[in-house]
Amino acid sequence: MKNLTLNLALLVAAFAPAAERQIVVAHRGASGYLPEHTLEAKAMAHAQGADFIEQDVVLTKDDVPVVLHDIHVDTVSDVAQRYPDRVRGDGRFYALDFTLAELRTLCFTERFNHKTGKPVYPKRFPLWKGDFRIATLEEDLELIAGLNHSTGRTAGVYPEIKQPKWHRDQGHDISSIVLPILRKHGYATKNDLCWVQCFEWAEVQRIRNELKWEGRLLQLLGNGKAKDGTDHDYFKTAEGIKHAAQVVDGMGPEIGAILKPDGSVTDFVAVAHQNKLQVHPYTLRVDQLPKGYDNVQAAMNALFGKAQVDGLFSDFPDVAVRYLDRASH
């Protein structure tokens, strides 16, 4: 009888709901439908019911935080045609080499390969159609606040501080610029709907300890050891997760750290939950499914159901929102 009770308890725990409602994070906005990180993509994500909307943040030459996925600007704009003389020795164009006023002159479009000029996702919004521009972090935050007010539906924000070590090596301290802007717009504590995320462990610690960030904080995870020194594989182990829990409120691994190609899941989420951490993996794409999954429904069944992730980044927030809405009824 004792073993039966124990087995039932384990079964209940395995399928228990996450500590908070499972959330959908609009990855670069509704980037499956409109050019990433444009204000138009953010408005669409809000309309599709995303719980949080992401902002990747880099700096301009004049230290204005702008919303852009990369430190490079040549995969989403016509910078190579407009400013050919600004190319660096590695053949790339960097946002940090342009003032905000100069970046405002660029046309932004769907992501493309900067060497071939071909779209990364051919079935998405057509290249060079429409008139899309770069947005500052403050403009992005103001848009979401405005939509929260006008619609009565509140979406949170999910800024990522991009490559802070690289920025500091270039003479710019991005974290010390971004955090005061978040506080100015009402994002300062864990009661506020804001997650700050970063791949660099040293910077995550600095954000919490030196820069005194009191809001929600998430450690992003890639693979292997990064240039900044972060050992991402270590933070996927039980020891690494426990270590991270001393500083952060959540972990953001790639989906491959959770889903196995055979349809089973790893113990990453279970271990994180044991350490009172939320898990928000990236990135669910309808047009680029995880290895071993032939449809998006199966991937969400595994992530939300089997693994019990607390949230999910998606380029197609409406797909995940509909899934969770159906599951709740």
Catalytic residues: 27, 69
Task: Write the CB contacts of 288 (distance below 8 Å, at least 6 apart in sequence).
Answer: 121
Read off the tokens for 120: 């990364």
Burial class of residue 52 in the structure, from the number of CB atoms within 10 Å of its CB (0-12 exposed, 13-18 middle, 19+ buried): buried
Q: CA 38 to CA 179: how far, in whole Å?
A: 21
CA neighbours closer than 13 Å in the CB half-sphere of residue 150: 9
Through-space distance between the first and last CA atoms of the chain, rounded to whole angstroms: 34
SS3 77: strand
The burial class, CB within 10 Å (0-12 / 13-18 / 19+), for 191 is exposed
The contacts of residue 200 (CB under 8 Å, 6+ apart) are 163, 164, 165, 226, 228, 230
- Residue 35 structure tokens: 């050019």
Q: From the centroid of its chain, how far is CA 176?
A: 20
Name residue 324's amino acid. L
Strand, coil or helix: 41: helix
Q: Which residues contact 243 (CB under 8 A, 6 or more apart)?
A: 235
Strands (E), the chain: 23-26, 52-59, 65-67, 156-161, 195-198, 216-221, 250-253, 278-279, 311-314
